[in-house]
Amino acid sequence: MLYALQTVPGLGMLAWREAEQALSGGSAPAPPRLAGIKAVPGRDDIVLVDYQGGPKPLLGLRTVEDVFVVAARAFRVAADERGPRQIYAAVRSSESVGPALNAWRRVSGARKGGGAFRVIARTVGRQQYLRRDVGRAVADAVRDGWPGPWRLVDEGEDLEVWATLVDQELLCALRLSDASMRQRGKLRHLPASLRPALAAAMVALTHPAPDDVFLDPMAGAGTLLVERAAAGPFAELHGGDISDEAVSAMRANLRGVGGRVVTSRWDARRLPLEDRSVDKVAVNLPFGKQIGDQASYQFIRNSLKKTATIKRLLERQLLAVRNALLIKRQAEATADFANAMKIMAAEVARLYGETNLLKVQMDWEKALAQSQTMEERMALFLDGMEQAAAADVSQAVTEAISDEEIDRLIAAEEQVEQARESQQISALRAELEQLKGQGQKESK
């Protein structure tokens, strides 16, 4: 039997580790096997677990938000109009449908035969058909081919059939869990509260041990503390928050937790705890728009602005160095170096628009006139570009990127994007270094 465990993006491997542990020692003839981790970009990680036992232990996993049993799979689904027909055929005739329906019946208590079903279709990729077409193909296949009868509904369903098409691969699975698995019956929730599965993953990374004195200094509604309590025995749990509302939500959520649990209203900058009295700390810091901490938000906003500015300036610099290399090669070929440099100067001026490069350029041209060799001239040019860009970064942040632009950037890109940006900057820097090295070698 193939089970699909759905979790928060990035948590697939942690979810598998938890599943492996929960299933080991069960009654199944063989241990569980990881059959793959699929990313549904920006939405979920799906962990495929091959396991011959029943699904009950999977429904208690803390790092997982939903559990499914796989009824059909299809690979190399066409992106053109053949796709929905291939999906229909794969879902209708899959040999896994019978065992998957049995697993669903055992969990839901449904009787043999059909019932009402709903299809949830998701697509990622560049198919020439719509999500709706995938949903229709799956619904037709269920009605036409699954032991039934099955009736398609929009709500009030007995069975949820999830069809996820990522590029060319389709996963059609029956949902075994309900909403309570995501929310863990948590009583109170705050706007910045963590998703419980994410909190459980953070707790797992602290390697829970029975003698833990565990602290969340900015605990909000206490999600991390609840998950730590669920992860096994502990010596003490300490949580606090600066907000009365959060402390009251935390207390409500921790009411059922046994053992030594201490909740307080405090300012985490002055924790009323002895030095060396805590073993493990997990915290979800209050940065961001959501909870209205304007000072922190402005700090992040400015950092983002600076990152974006540096990236743009590096791109300009890269373009200018590429131009320089081209023109230098041309100059060598025609032995008309001075003329080529004039063209390059015009190109540099165009590229930098209104930024204050004129003076740098004039200084450079003067030095150039006094320099002797081609090598000296190239080195001067590259130095000039570097200094200009550095000056630009420190004094012209506001010119390179407007406030409106950066606001749009923040709305569109969150932390993941920032990580990607810094990778791109490293790549730009590396390319720039390589080009400079190339330019210097050629000058010799």
Ligand X SMILES: C[S@@+](CC[C@H](N)C(=O)[O-])C[C@H]1O[C@@H](n2cnc3c(N)ncnc32)[C@H](O)[C@@H]1O
* Binding residues for ligand X (CB under 6 A): 190, 192-194, 218-221, 223-224, 241-243, 246, 267-269, 284, 286, 291
Q: Nearest approach, Cβ of 349 to ligand X (angstroms)?
A: 48
Residue of 263, 203, 255, 265 whose CA lies nearest to 234: 203
Instruction: Check if the beta carbon of residue 163 is closer than 8 Å to that of residue 120.
Output: yes
Q: Which is nearer to ligand X, 242 or 393 (CB)?
A: 242
Q: Which is nearer to ligand X, 14 or 70 (CB)?
A: 14
Write 259-264 long-range contacts (CB < 8 A, 24+): 259/229, 259/233, 259/234, 260/235, 260/236, 261/225, 261/229, 261/236, 261/237, 262/236, 262/237, 262/238, 263/219, 263/222, 263/238, 263/239, 264/238, 264/239, 264/240
Q: Nearest approach, Cβ of 288 to ligand X (angstroms)?
A: 7
Q: Which is nearer to ligand X, 39 or 283 (CB)?
A: 283
Tokens for 168, please give them. 């060319």
Q: Which is nearer to ligand X, 126 or 269 (CB)?
A: 269
CA triple 197-246-289, angle to 5 deg: 75
Q: Nearest approach, Cβ of 293 to ligand X (angstroms)?
A: 7
Instruction: Check if the beta carbon of residue 68 is closer than 8 Å to that of residue 122.
Output: no
Q: Nearest approach, Cβ of 392 to ligand X (angstroms)?
A: 36
Residue 284, classified by CB atoms within 10 Å of its CB into exposed (0-12), middle (13-18) or buried (19+), is: middle
Q: Nearest approach, Cβ of 202 to ligand X (angstroms)?
A: 9
Q: Are strands 150-152 and 115-124 parallel, antiparallel or unpaired?
A: parallel
Q: Which is nearer to ligand X, 193 or 355 (CB)?
A: 193
- State which amino acid sits at residue 372: Q
CA–CA separation, 90 and 95 (whole Å): 10
Q: Nearest approach, Cβ of 223 to ligand X (angstroms)?
A: 3
Q: Nearest approach, Cβ of 416 to ligand X (angstroms)?
A: 18
Closest residue to bound ligand X by CB: 220
Q: How far out from the chain centre does Cα 272 lie? A: 36
Q: Which is nearer to ligand X, 127 or 193 (CB)?
A: 193
Q: Which is nearer to ligand X, 164 or 223 (CB)?
A: 223
Q: Which is nearer to ligand X, 243 or 361 (CB)?
A: 243
Q: Nearest approach, Cβ of 257 to ligand X (angstroms)?
A: 15
Residue 426, classified by CB atoms within 10 Å of its CB into exposed (0-12), middle (13-18) or buried (19+), is: exposed
Residue 140, classified by CB atoms within 10 Å of its CB into exposed (0-12), middle (13-18) or buried (19+), is: middle
In angstroms, what CA-CA distances link 177 with 5, 123, 161, 416? 10, 22, 12, 29
Q: Which is nearer to ligand X, 49 or 225 (CB)?
A: 225
Q: Which is nearer to ligand X, 160 or 241 (CB)?
A: 241
CA–CA separation, 113 and 115 (whole Å): 7
Classified as helix, coil or strand, 150 is strand
Q: Nearest approach, Cβ of 209 to ligand X (angstroms)?
A: 22
Q: Is the dihedral of CA 342, 345, 346, 347 positive or negative?
A: positive
Q: Nearest approach, Cβ of 160 to ligand X (angstroms)?
A: 27
